[in-house]
Amino acid sequence: MTDVYIVDVLRTPVGKAPRGVFKNTLPDDLLAHTIKCLIHRHQTLDWQEIADVVIGCAMPEAEQGMNVARIASLLADLPKSVPAMTINRFCSSGVQSIVTAADTIRNQEAHLALGGGVESMSMVPMGGNKYTANPSIFNDEHVAIAYGMGITAENVAKRWEITREQQDEFAIESHKKA
């Protein structure tokens, strides 16, 4: 297997949904801007050689639907020959996209791939535009998939005896790393 390296990390500032500075900015424009900044920061890379753009999106519908990864790639002026895919694994979509991009390199299918995530909670709020849950997911066996991340966080904290102070400390360190 081939070693994989993260060359750079970049993100937009965090806005405050639904009234923040990015509330009227389309998700594909946010993502395209970020990709353009990466291209500018790494002008020595041959962006024609990129094997894939893999973007995670928890709610890939409405303004962030229609393969937002492909739309943003084209808006960022990546070559039309560069493929792009949007993947959904809810809150872990962005992380999964990086794993998928890395696996492409690790498996020697490519030597350059881009992984990341995009989400606009202002344009596509939690649950999507018109979400009606299938009632069968609320049975005892599958009920966890119906929880939002807030309930999940509370359950994890209770089960593993993680205090609020420990959570806050972890969050601060995580944001520093981002």
Residues 102 and 67 in one domain: yes
In-domain check, residue 17: no
Structural domain that includes position 164: 135-177
The enclosing H or E element of 31 equals helix 27-41
**Residues near 57 by Cβ (< 8 Å), separated by ≥ 6?**
27, 64, 68, 69, 86, 87, 88, 93, 117, 118, 119
Rounded to 5°, the CA angle 2-178-172 comes to 135
Instruction: Quote the tokens at residue 75.
Output: 């808006």
Q: Would you say residue 49 lies in a domain?
A: yes
pLDDT at 51: 93
> pLDDT tens across 32-47, in order?
999 999 999 999 999 8
- Our count of domains for the chain comes to 2
Q: Give the per-residue pLDDT at 42.
A: 95
Asked whether residue 84 is domain-assigned, the answer is yes
State whether 92 and 139 are in the same domain.
no
**pLDDT score, position 13:** 84
146 and 93 share one domain: no
Please check whether residues 105 and 162 belong to one and the same domain. Answer: no
Residue 129 lies in a domain: no
Cβ–Cβ < 8 Å for 72, 119: no
* Residue-wise pLDDT tens digits, 75-104: 999 999 999 999 999 989 999 999 999 999
Confirm whether 109 is domain-assigned. yes
Are 65 and 110 within one domain? yes
pLDDT of residue 18: 81
Whether 95 and 155 map to the same domain: the answer is no
In a domain, 8, yes or no: no
DSSP 8-class letter at 60: -
| Same-domain check for residues 35 and 105 | yes
Counting as low any pLDDT under 50, the low residues of the chain are none
Residue 45's CATH number: 3.40.47.10
> How many alpha carbons fall within 13 Å on the CB side of residue 129?
7
Residues 97 and 144 in one domain: no
Q: Does residue 3 lie in a domain region?
A: no
Q: Are residues 107 and 141 in the same domain?
A: no
The model's pTM: 0.78
